Amino acid sequence: MSFIFFMRSAAYPGDLIGLLGTEDQVQSGQVTAILFRVATSEQVRANGQSWFGEVIPNIQGRLVPFARTGGDGSHVAFWLDDDGRRQIVHLGSERLVCLLGQTPLDFLRLLAIGYEEISGDWFDAPDAPPADGGVNAAYRSWLIERYGVTIPVIAAEILGELPNVLAEASDDPFWRRVRSAQHDWHGGHLTAPSR
């Protein structure tokens, strides 16, 4: 069963972007709008520095974006935390940053729930089910069969409580690390890079 499709990148000639369905399925809302593409080392460095300046040395070895989650510049990245654990995180254009589960399989399960996108307004209501339960059906079936996992009905079952962009504190370790680094860089102001 095939559920990963590729299209040519308009922004990066010669690159292919991975999708959870065909371009038509993405456009018609039949699959989650997420574009998988691992950035070049130069792009990784520039992206990391736009979030952290020079506060975190060798940022390109610690934060690697691999998917766009919305047309607003939000993306998902691999994060090597300060203890050497590999995590999957969200970096949002509206300053929302958080872990996307405790394991890579959690992230895959999150996609299988079937939200239209993993970005934007979705973060305001992670305890709401997706509008269309049929989104990502082929992918969801494959994930259940391949890994023997269950797929929750809502994102909150995987993510727990998400930090609000105006929050002053959070239990989310990635949120705390971003907040600390940006405090060192900007004197306490949490900022999202301009796109």
The reported pTM is 0.79
Tokens linked to 85: 């654990």
Q: What is the pLDDT of residues 77-98, one digit of tens each?
A: 999 988 999 999 998 877 788 9
- Main-chain dihedrals φ then ψ at residue 91, nearest 5 degrees: -120, 105
- Domains of the chain, residue spans: 5-186
Give me the amino acid identity at 61: G
Pairing of strands 75-80, 86-91: antiparallel
Q: What is the largest CA-CA distance in the chain?
A: 51
Torsion region of 168: left, alpha or beta (phi above 0 gives left; psi -120 to 50 gives alpha): alpha
Q: What is the pLDDT of residues 121-149, one digit of tens each?
A: 677 788 888 887 668 888 888 899 999 99
Among the listed residues 166, 165, 186, 191, the one whose alpha carbon sits nearest the alpha carbon of residue 98: 165
